[in-house]
Amino acid sequence: MGILNRLSGSAEVVGVDIGSHSMKMVQLRESRQGFVLHKAGSKPVPADAIKAGVITNPRAVADAMREMASALNIGTCGAVVGVAGPAVVVRQVQLPVMSERHLRRSIQWEARNYISFPVEDSVLEFQIQPGDSRSGHMEVMLVASPRDMVESRVETLELAGMEPLAIEIEVFAAMRCLVEWGANGDGNSDTVALVGVGASFTDIDLVQGGKFVLTRMIPLAGNAFTEAVSGALGMDPAAAANLKESSMRVVLSEDERATLDPFAQQASRAVEPLLEELVREIRRSLAYYDYQQQGSEEQGKPPSVSRVLLSGGSALMSGLREYLQAQLGVPVEIANPFRDGGIETDTSSREYLQAHSPGLVVGTGLALRELVLNSKGRRKGAK
């Protein structure tokens, strides 16, 4: 669901994922079979340019964005960018039955009950969900973002020479990439947990039968692991990050830890408390979903998560997938939108994608948004 939309007829769209540590660009094109990856890359975000999700130095970020676009040979085109963070609200709410037009006029008053920041300083959007309204109530998907978070992204894209087509909540981009369009989406009624381990936060999103159920964000992710290693070994953050990404491994036993070199063993022990906390938070989200769905057991639909799709820049931390699978007791897969026919790729990009696919999920979902809408519009016009 976008919170800023402009009409677009562009055949080339770039998804721009601006995180706290790095920004990613993904450009897709439409093909006869669906969509094909054209360009993809990443670049560190300039230091101190983003605070609490707001781009405080748009010029520096735009310069870095322009440099990356030039290196990838991405010309002037439309862009879709995402927003995420603790201040971004995504909630299913119950409201009295009313027309969409009436709700549009009253949404600011209704939203005051669900967001923690001033409504006047926010960008709001909603979508009325299909369902039985005979009870006098209807389900509404409410999304809200601080206005300065949205406006700083629009300004940055324009400074970088890109046309902002839409600003979208990142959870919906991930859903589109992995469930609605990707090879991981099988169209059945399974409940899938999307766990995106980024630099500053981990997103835990639940999708049932292809539909959004809930989202949570916890302040425990790659940076916290790096800080733990840095503190335990007395290393500077850059050296700690290098150790974490090279020789360290998340282990399931002391015997497995003993196979590592001494520094990697210390690093492995340092991140264990954080991993245990991460597992507790994921379990809490799954338990909350089960609690909400208790009545579905009577209808023959057991409320359980069938699998976890792991994405984000820290998803490839060695041993993390196996650790989460063992602790959660459900299959855990590394998310890859370019595998098994999800989105076409050429052979020249395979090596890069093998190392970076989990971190490109949001950017891919953002780019897909406009291409899917354009494709549907052409099919509708052809009828």
Nearest CA-CA partner of 16 in 184, 151, 165: 165
Average pLDDT of the chain, as a whole number: 87
In tens, the pLDDT along 113-170 reads 888 888 889 999 989 888 777 788 898 999 999 999 999 999 999 999 999 999 999 9
Q: What is the CATH number of the domain that holds 35?
A: 3.30.420.40
Considering the entire predicted model, what is its pTM?
0.89
Mean pLDDT, to the nearest integer, of 76-99?
90
The verdict on 54 and 168 lying in the same domain is yes
| Domain match, 164 and 254 both | no
More confident residue, 361 or 293: 361
Least confident segment among 30-34, 141-145, 190-194, 214-218: 30-34
How far is 201 from 190, CA to CA, in rounded Å?
Answer: 26
Q: What is the pLDDT of residue 58?
A: 96
Q: What confidence tens digit (pLDDT) does each residue in 34-52 have? A: 788 888 999 999 999 999 8
Q: Same domain for 180 and 207? A: no
Percent of the residues in the chain that have a pLDDT greater than 90, as a whole number: 60
pLDDT tens across 246-294, in order?
Answer: 999 999 999 999 999 999 999 999 999 999 999 999 999 999 888 877 7
Band the pLDDT of 383: cuts 50, 70, 90: very low
Tens digits of residue pLDDT in 320-341: 999 999 999 999 999 988 876 5
Q: What is the pLDDT of residues 223-240, one digit of tens each?
A: 999 999 999 999 999 999
More confident position, 366 or 92: 366
Domain that holds residue 363: 1-87+144-184+345-377
Residues 325 and 371 occupy one common structural domain = no
| Phi/psi of residue 171, nearest 5 degrees | -60, -35
Q: Are residues 49 and 149 in the same domain?
A: yes
Query: Per-residue DSSP letters for 255-323?
Result: HHHTTS-HHHHHHHHHHHHHHHHHHHHHHHHHHHHHHHTGGGGGGT----EEEEEEESTTTTSTTHHHH
Tell me how crowded residue 339 is: count the other CB atoms within 10 A of its CB.
Answer: 17
Question: Quick check: is 111 in a domain?
Answer: no
pLDDT for the residue numbered 46: 95
Residues 173 and 272 in one domain: no
When pLDDT is averaged across residues 174-181 and rounded to a whole number, the result is 89
Residue 382's pLDDT is 47
285 and 356 housed in the same domain: no
Q: How many domains would you assign to the chain?
A: 2
Answer whether 59's CB lies under 8 Å from 159's CB. yes
**What pLDDT, on a 0 to 100 scale, did the predictor assign at position 291?**
81
Same domain? For 311 and 214 the reply is: yes
Task: Based on the fold, state whether residues 83 and 221 are members of the same structural domain.
Answer: no
Measured CA angle at 33 (ends 30, 35), to 5 deg: 30
Residue 260, classified by CB atoms within 10 Å of its CB into exposed (0-12), middle (13-18) or buried (19+), is middle
- Taking Cα atoms as reference points, which of 68, 66, 46 lies closest to residue 57? 46
Are 13 and 1 in a shared domain? Answer: yes
At 381 the pLDDT is: 47
At 300 the pLDDT is 47
